Structure 1
Amino acid sequence: MIALLSAPSNLGLRPPQRGSVPGVSKAPEALREAGLFRRLLDDGATDAGVVLAGRYIDDDDARAPGHVRNEEALVDHARRLADRLTSILDAGDAPLVIGGDCSLLLGIGVALARRGGAGLVHVDGHTDFRHPGNSDECASVAGEDLAAATGLHWPAIADIDGLAPYFAPQRAVHIGHRDDDEELEEVRGIIGLVVSAADAAVAASDDLAASVVETAGTGYWLQIDVDVLDPEVMPAVDSPDPGGLGVPELTELLRRLAPRAIGASVTVFDPDLDPDGRFARLLADVVVDALRTLGTAV
């Protein structure tokens, strides 16, 4: 059974402008208004509540070197999210986490590492592989979550409670980057399977799903960053880049991946960039159509 969990965190993003706050924390309620929760609850899902994040602070002027934005609040939220996910998984349900930004992968990783580990399928328009070993600009975990989740970031976020790596790199899959991604070559040398948006768009869905299962195993976590979609169809994201997937391609891919996933998360939709709600309605359609069989083959 799907357990819907809201995680309205914006802690891993840079501010849109100095002193302002990213809008992604509004995403769970915007998607609720668009009918996402009602439709899945009508299908038999349960509402597992919300894990609130701490206050977002634009701390660029005060943050010491070697620390990410909102680090203390991020780690606190990760532990609390992990506790809630543990309860859901122990009950035999499949969590569907509605974020929020993709720094949520820290708490998800902690929960799964506590249980002995799982594979990871990271569907994202960027590799999110910036880390202290390849950049002097580390600050925003939403652009660094895959690196942190596979143990390549500062220990404060990559080794919470001594659990690094949350996901073994050889059991991690990344799908959806653009061909000009800055960390692509490093990712290809570390992550088990790496597939661009262009290649995913033309691949046979069955063949790609088989490759994912071969790498990640059955019972992986499915992390979906909405910016994997092309900005022509989904511009309401923090970092839109051309060359993404279309709605039919993403929907079919997720339909193939959902049954063998232990759980999933949907992140980085920004309602502030969707004033009339049409992109929330589009995303609700994708999530309901593609993820309604989440966890049914685990």
Structure 2
Amino acid sequence: MKGKITLFEFPFNLGLTKKEHEIEPGVRKLPDWLKKLGFHERISPEHIYRLESPAYAMNFDQETGVKNPEQIVEYAKKQSELILKNSDKNTFNIILGGDCSILIGTAIALKKLGSFGLFYLDGHTDYIPARLSPSGGAAGMDLAIVCGLGHEKLTNIDNQKPYFLAENVFCVGNAETDDEEYVGEIINSKINYFDLYKVRKNGFRKTSEDFLALINEKNLDGFFIHFDVDVLNDKIMPCVDSRMEDGIDYDNLKEILQPLIHNEKCFGIEITILDPDYDPNGEYTLPFIENLIKIINNED
């Protein structure tokens, strides 16, 4: 991993649909929650940058089939500018969400920097068009959007479509495999797709090494890691928006992330969907922080 760490806080939640008992999704509290539990202090970032989120809304847009598209686009542009202004080749960037739609802003920034790959580690594919989304939440379509599938308002911000070429993307860890139409979208794409069962068969470290081989073979400028914590087993990470029983454990996570984070071409990692409202005592977040710091510090 590169020596210096820059921390970006994007407490954005307009890509999610709130549940009946919620005033708004609690994922926007994640940066402050991690700071309270000591994450910031322990990683000692050189700089911390933050972009406040607009007020929560659930405005469904008929044209795009997505909720809150105007706010998502505006935020993504500002996010991209903040990243471009405050990152350099010698810095490892840790980006804290928020929901998964924060990937859009980062993707735009990376497209403006060069040709980048994406390692998409998530308990869902998030690769569907709006017509297949029951909620219209961009957080469930973000991989599709950054690869150019969806309405031009979201997929072609600043005329940068596609932000990632599908063939330069690994989508890893999807446990939602029983919906043929949902899974069919990514199977029929050019994305390198490893659902939960395939990644177990291929090997966790081997899958990351295969991705790094692709990055080197194509001589890409670098790559980025998207890490939605719902890829973790429900027993160790139940405080997420869309829970599923199966998932990877912390040993698996280490095998996946260590080769990636400590590769010189890694631009950084984003962490999304952990909802502090579902973990009021830090029962699940504290072990998460411990394991993540060990990975970042390359500890055994």
| TM-score relative to the length of structure 2 | 0.89
Q: 2:30 aligns with which of 9, 27, 31?
A: 27
Q: Tell me which residue corresponds to 2:55.
A: 55
Q: CA offset at residue 19 of structure 1?
A: 7.2
Q: Tell me which residue corresponds to 2:64.
A: 66
Contact 1:126 1:181 in 2 (8 A): no
% identical aligned pairs: 28
Larger mean Cα displacement after TM superposition, 145-154 or 81-90: 81-90
Deviations 1:57-95 (A, max 9, x none): 1225xx434242121111111111111111233363221
Contact 1:131 1:152 in 2 (8 A): yes
Contact 1:192 1:215 in 2 (8 A): no
Tell me the matched-pair count: 287
Q: CA offset at residue 125 of structure 1?
A: 0.1
Q: Tell me which residue corresponds to 1:86.
A: 84
Q: Tell me which residue corresponds to 2:213.
A: 214
The separation in 2 between residues aligned to 1:59 and 1:189, in whole angstroms, is 31
Q: 1:238 aligns with which of 223, 238, 241?
A: 241
Across the aligned residues of Structure 1 and Structure 2, the Cα RMSD in angstroms comes to 2.0
Letter in 1 for 2:57: I
Q: Tell me which residue corresponds to 1:197.
A: 196
Q: CA offset at residue 193 of structure 1?
A: 1.5
1:265 alignment partner, SS class: strand
2:252 alignment partner, SS class: helix
* Superposed structure 1 runs of 4+ greater than 4 Å apart: none
Q: Which runs of 5+ in 1 are unaligned?
A: 294-298
| TM-score relative to the length of structure 1 | 0.90
Contact 1:53 1:73 in 2 (8 A): no
Q: 1:273 aligns with which of 257, 278, 285?
A: 278
Q: CA offset at residue 36 of structure 1?
A: 1.0
The separation in 1 between residues aligned to 2:89 and 2:206, in whole angstroms, is 32
1:281 alignment partner, SS class: helix
Q: 2:141 aligns with which of 126, 144, 149?
A: 144
Q: Tell me which residue corresponds to 2:6.
A: 3
The separation in 1 between residues aligned to 2:190 and 2:269, in whole angstroms, is 19
Q: CA offset at residue 201 of structure 1?
A: 3.6
The separation in 1 between residues aligned to 2:120 and 2:295, in whole angstroms, is 16
Q: CA offset at residue 164 of structure 1?
A: 0.7
Deviations 1:239-269 (A, max 9, x none): 0112211121112211121123211100000
Q: Tell me which residue corresponds to 2:101.
A: 103
The separation in 1 between residues aligned to 2:270 and 2:235, in whole angstroms, is 23
Q: Tell me which residue corresponds to 1:160.
A: 157
Larger mean Cα displacement after TM superposition, 100-109 or 255-264: 255-264
